[in-house]
Amino acid sequence: MTCSTVKPKHLPLSKKRRPPRRTQKQTWKLKSNTAIIKLELEDNSIMEEGVLSLVEMLHENYYLQELNISNNKIGLEGARIISDFLQGNTSSLLKLKLSGNNFKKDSAALLCQALSSNYRIRTLSLSHNEFSDTAGEYLGQMLGFNVGLQSLDLSWNHFHTQGATALCNGLRMNVTLKALDLSMNGLGNEGALALGEVLKLNSCLCYLDVSSNNINNEGANRISKGLEFNETLQVLKLFLNPINMEGAVVLILSIKRNPKSKMEELDIANVLVTEQFIRVLDGVCAIHPQLDVIHKTVQGFSTRKTFLNNTNPMKMIQSYAEQQKITVLEFFKRLNSTGSMTMPVGEFRKALVQQNKVPMNRYQVRELIKKLDEKKGIVDFRNCTGFT
């Protein structure tokens, strides 16, 4: 029986704190296993010997696709072993999590050397390490050469302006990366300037998280310059930055000025806004109905226009469906021109806003998406069953 006919399995061994020899025994069992495609070894103190055993297993197992060895503090020697393995491009591994492993700039140099030529790894998490700006230079060079990575998590890594600028230089040349998490670093306004310049040119990045990076209104203005020209970015997270309503207005107006913008979500959830901002946002969403801006509303201001209708959106749809003698599922399927049971979140939001059968405001649409979204950017209509 081949892997394609066996139900994929997940082997969770996280937080078991196995000694290296025990890890070695577990990996020997996996050498010929054709069913396990995901292996969790987070927080197991596997150390260098354990990493060696894992790599030896991966050389012979061509079925494992996801490996998580985060929070094992494998350090420089662990990075060296993994780097040697990645340069071979021989495994079926697509997703690798290496967060919290006490990696510093020397570890980054080794990993980036391997990843510059590795084209198999699609998703890589290196968050909660201690890379700093020098490592940012290595990572930027790697991004300029890598042709496989689609998702990269570099959050919590002590990057500042120098590291951000180096990373952005690599992003200018990169043609595959779709998701980048740089949250909880210190990019500042100069880093925001570099990101803004990249957004003018980059044609593949869809998701960018720069939450908590000490970016103020000046930095928001610099990012907005890129948003005016970008045609691929869908999600931009700026949560927990010192931006006020002035910076928020600049951001949404830059989206308004870009007729080719694909923006679906702008997260500025800590920014207090007024009714004036809501009116400006109404104008932006009229042009880009797929857009949802997450913000904090000032308590006490008039919300009659945007919040008056608090009716449960699913109940509204159910009521309409009963009147038309159709199912709720059929109502949703009619929103999709392909008749499919699934739909990208942005397209779903746009279709709901533009349809006139069950009028609802964008806050109701947001609530509905929360119920149907599988957190992968895709709405599945089959999730509507059971909601009332």
Among residues 164, 106, 102, the alpha carbon closest in space to that of 133 is found at: 164
pLDDT value, residue 371? 83
pLDDT value, residue 337? 87
pLDDT value, residue 388? 44
Is there a contact between 115 and 85 (Cβ–Cβ < 8 Å)?
no
User: For the segment 33-71, what is each residue's pLDDT rounded down to a tens digit?
Assistant: 677 899 999 999 888 889 999 999 988 888 899 999 999
Is there a contact between 185 and 128 (Cβ–Cβ < 8 Å)?
no
Give, as one character, the DSSP assignment of residue 373: B
What is the pTM for the complete model shown?
Answer: 0.89
**Parts of the chain with a pLDDT under 70:** 1-33, 299-310, 374-375, 385-388
CA angle (77 as vertex; 72, 82 as ends), nearest 5: 75
Is there a contact between 382 and 341 (Cβ–Cβ < 8 Å)?
yes
CA angle (227 as vertex; 226, 228 as ends), nearest 5: 90
Is there a contact between 180 and 207 (Cβ–Cβ < 8 Å)?
yes
pLDDT value, residue 61? 86
What's the rounded Cα separation, in Å, for the pair 161 and 143? 17
